[in-house]
Structure 1
Amino acid sequence: MKKITRFFWFCSGAHIDTLKKYPIEHNKYVGIGATIFFTALFAALSGGYAMYFVFSGSAFAVGFAILFGLLWGTAIFNMDRYIVSSINKEGTTGQQILQASPRILLAIMIGVVISRPLELKIFDKEIRDKLKTAYLKGQHSKIDTLQKTYQQKYAQELVKNTDLKKEKDSLERDINRSRYELNQEVFGDKTNQTSGITGYGTYAKQKEQVLKEKQDRLKTVTENLGQMDDYLARRKDYEGLNSTRLFSNQQLDSLANIAGFADRNWALGQLSYNVNGTRDLDTYLAISFIGYLFILFECLPVFVKLMSPKGPYDTAVAKVAEADVHYADKDKERYMAVTDSTYDHNLDADIDRRKRIITAQSEYDLSRHSYD
C-alpha cells in the first residue's frame, strides 16, 4: 500500500518530501493521483483503439495500436499532471478559477478526443448495422448511376435494338399467319384471303413467295438483333454494369469489419437521426451523456484541486517556493557581485598594461631622437 500511495502521489504531481509531513493531506492527493492515472489509462485505450482501426487489416495493426496507445496515454498523463500541479492555491477563488480556465478548456478538448474512440466501441453493433445499410444504399446508387450513364451514352443503339425486337416479334406473327393462310389455300378452304381452289395453284405460289420474303426479312432482323445484343453486352461489360452487383450479407459483414475510423465516426453521428431525418432523442442522449462523462472525468482532477480547501501542504509548498525564489535572488546577487569584482580587476590590469606600453613607446622615441 505504501508503494501504491507513493505512486499516486507521484501521479498527482505533489512534492512527496513535503507531503509526507502532513498526513491529513495524504488521502486527497492519493485521490487526485488515481484520477489522473485512470484518465491516462482510458486515454491509452482510446488512442490504441483508434489507431487499430487506422491500420486495420495490416499485420502490424496490433503493434501500432499498442505503441500509439502507450505514447498517447503518457502524453495525457504528463499533461494532466502538469495541469493539476500548476494550480496555485495561494490566490483567491476567482484568481484560481481564472488561472484554471485555460486548463479546463484544454481538459475538455482532451476529454472529447479520448471519448470518441470509446464511444465507437460501445456502439459497435449499432455502427455495423448503420454501415451495412449505408453500403447497400451506396451500391444501389452506384448501380442506378451506371444504368443512367449507360442509357444516356448508348441511347441511339438502345432505341435501334428496341425497334429490331419489335420488328422481329411482328414478323414472327405475320409469318405464322401467312403460313396458316398458305395451308388454307392449298387445301381449298374458302376465306376472304383464299380462293377456295384446292391444290398448289397461282394463289398458293403467291402466298408462298410472300411467306419466303417475310422469312428472309426475319432472318436479317434476327442477325442484326444478335449483333446489336452482342455490342450492347460488350458495352455493359466496359461500363461495369455486368460486374456491379448488390452486396451479399457476407460481403456487407466483411466491409463493416474493415471499415475505417472515418466511416465508423460518420456512422456514430448518424445513429442520432431516424430514417426520416428527425432526431432520435434516446440515442442522441445516450451518446452525448457518454461523451459528457469522459469530459467530466478528464476535468475531474482540476475540479478536485479547485474545490479542495487550502491545506497545510499548499502553505508549505508556497513557503518552499518563496524560499527557493529568495535563495535564487541571493545567488544571483552573489554572482553579479563576483562578476563585477572580476570585471573591475581586469579593467585595472588593462589600464596598467596600457600605461606600460605608452611609457615604453615614449622612452623608445626619446632614445631615437637623442641618437639622431
Structure 2
Amino acid sequence: MEKLTRFFWWCSGTHQATLAKYPAEHNKYVGIGATIFFTGLFAALSGGYALYFVFSGGSFAPLYAILFGLLWGLAIFNMDRYIVLSINKNASGLKQLFQATPRILLAVLIGIVIARPLELKVFDKEIREQLRVTYLDRQRANIDTLNKAFESKYAIELGRVTELKTERDSLEAAIKSDRVKLKMETFGEKTVETSGIVGYGPYAKQRQAELDKQEQYLDTLRSRIQLQETFIQQRKQFEGLLDERLLTGAQLDSAVNVAGFADRNAALGDLKYHPDGTLNEANYWSITFIMLLFIFFECLPVFVKLMSVRDAYDIALRDQQTVDIHRSGKNRDAEIAITDSLYDTHVQQAIEKRKARVWEDETL
C-alpha cells in the first residue's frame, strides 16, 4: 500500500518528501493521483480501440492498437499531470481560476476525444444494426443512380423498346378481337361486322387472310423487341449494372465487421434520430450523458485542486520554493563575487607582467 500510495502521489505531481511530513493531506493527493491515472488508462483503452478499427482486417491491427493506445494514454496522463501540477494554490482564487480556465477547456476537449471511441463500444450492437440499414440504403441509392444514368444514356433505345411493346400489345388485342369475329363469321352469327352466312365462305377466308398477316407482323414485332432487349442487356452488362447486387446476410455481416471508424462514428450519430428525421430522445440523451460523464471525469482533478483549500502542504511547498530561490540568489551572488575576484586578480597579474616587461626593455 505504501508503494501504491507513493505511486499515486507521483501521478498527482506532488513533492513527496514534503508531502510525507503532513499525513492529513495524504489521502487527498492519493485521490487526485488515482483520478489522473485512471483518466490516462481510459484514454489508452479509447485510443487503442479507435486505432483497431483504423487497421481493422490487417494482420498487425492488434499490435498497432496496443502501441498507439499506450502512447495516447501516456500523452493524456502526462498532460493531466501537468495541468494539475501547474495550478498554484498559493495564488489568489481569481488568479487560480484564470490559470485553470485554459486547462479546463483543454480537459473538456480531451474528455470528448476519450469518450467517443468508448461510446462506440457501449453502443456496438445498435451501431451494427444501423450500419446494416445504412449499407443497404446506400447500395439501393447507388443502384438507382446507375439505372438513372443508364436510362439517360440510352433513352432512345429504351424509348424504341417501349414503342414496340405498345404496338405489340395493341396488335395482340386486335388479333384476339379478329379471332372472335372470325369464329362468329364461321358459325353464321349476324352482327354489324359479320354476314351471318354459316360456313367457311369468302368473308371468313378474307378475315383469315387478314388475321394471318397480323400474326406474321406480330412475330416480326416480337423478334425486333427481343433483339432490342438483347442489345440493352448487353449494354447493361458492359456498364456494370448487372454486377450490382444487394448484399446478402453473410456479405452484410462481413461488411459490418470491417467497417471503419468513420462509418461507425457516423452510425452512432444516426442513432440520435429516427428514420423520419425526428429526434430519438432516448439514444440522444444516453450518448450525451456518457460524453458528459467522461468530460467531468477528465476535469475532476482540476476541479478538486481548485475547490480544495490551501493546506499545510501548499504552505510548506511555498516556503520551500522561497528558500530555494533565496539560496539560488545567494549562490549566484557568491559566483558573481568569485568571478569578479578572479577577474581582478587576472587583471592585476597582467599589469604586473606589463610593468616587468617595460622595466626589462628600459634596462636593456
Distance 1:202 1:252 in 2: 69
Structure 1 unmatched runs, 5+: 368-372
Residue matched to 2:23: 23
Task: Compute the displacement of 1:279 (Å).
Answer: 2.5
Distance 1:36 1:73 in 2: 11
Match status 1:235 vs 2:225:
no
Distance 2:237 2:179 in 1: 40
Q: How do 1:194-213 and structure 2 match up within 5 A?
A: 196=197, 209-213=209-213
Residue matched to 1:60: 60
- Residue correspondences, number: 361
Distance 2:187 2:293 in 1: 98
CA offset digits 1:139-165 (Å, max 9, x no partner): 222222222222222221111101212
Task: Compute the displacement of 1:277 (Å).
Answer: 2.4
Task: Compute the displacement of 1:238 (Å).
Answer: 3.1
Distance 1:352 1:44 in 2: 71
Distance 2:171 2:355 in 1: 132
Task: Compute the displacement of 1:178 (Å).
Answer: 5.6
Task: Compute the displacement of 1:179 (Å).
Answer: 6.3
Distance 1:148 1:135 in 2: 20
Residue matched to 2:34: 34
CA offset digits 1:109-149 (Å, max 9, x no partner): 11111111111111112222222222222222222222222
Distance 2:189 2:11 in 1: 113
Task: Choose 240-249 or 316-325, whichever is displaced more.
Answer: 240-249
Distance 1:325 1:210, change over 3 A: same
Residue matched to 2:136: 136
Q: Is the contact made by 1:181 and 1:194 (CA closer than 8 Å) also made in structure 2?
A: no
Distance 2:189 2:281 in 1: 82
Residue matched to 1:117: 117
Structure 2 unmatched runs, 5+: none
Distance 2:164 2:231 in 1: 14
Distance 1:278 1:214, change over 3 A: closer
Distance 2:143 2:208 in 1: 49
3-state SS in 1 of match to 2:53 = helix
Distance 2:251 2:80 in 1: 44
Residue matched to 1:163: 163
Letter in 2 for 1:9: W
CA offset digits 1:53-104 (Å, max 9, x no partner): 1111111111111111111111111111111122211122222222222222
Residue matched to 2:256: 256
Distance 1:130 1:357, change over 3 A: farther
Distance 1:181 1:103 in 2: 96
Residue matched to 1:217: 217
Task: Compute the displacement of 1:304 (Å).
Answer: 1.4
Residue matched to 2:286: 286
Distance 1:274 1:207 in 2: 65
Letter in 1 for 2:24: I
Distance 1:87 1:197 in 2: 117
Residue matched to 1:246: 246
Distance 1:163 1:323 in 2: 101
Match status 1:153 vs 2:153:
yes
Residue matched to 2:47: 47
Distance 1:274 1:218 in 2: 53
Q: Is the contact made by 1:195 and 1:203 (CA closer than 8 Å) also made in structure 2?
A: no
Distance 1:92 1:143 in 2: 66
- Superposition CA RMSD, Å: 3.1
Residue matched to 1:370: none
CA offset digits 1:9-48 (Å, max 9, x no partner): 1111111112222211111111111111111111111111
Match status 1:77 vs 2:94:
no
Distance 2:284 2:218 in 1: 66
Letter in 2 for 1:95: K
Match status 1:12 vs 2:7:
no
3-state SS in 1 of match to 2:167 = helix
Q: How do 1:291-310 and structure 2 match up within 5 A?
A: 291-310=291-310
Distance 1:34 1:145 in 2: 56
Residue matched to 2:270: 270
Q: Is the contact made by 1:46 and 1:118 (CA closer than 8 Å) also made in structure 2?
A: yes
Percent identity, aligned pairs only, is 53
CA offset digits 1:195-231 (Å, max 9, x no partner): 94867x8767655654453344233322221110011
Residue matched to 1:104: 104
Under a length normalisation based on structure 1, what TM-score does the superposition of the two structures give?
0.85
Letter in 1 for 2:103: R
3-state SS in 2 of match to 1:325 = helix
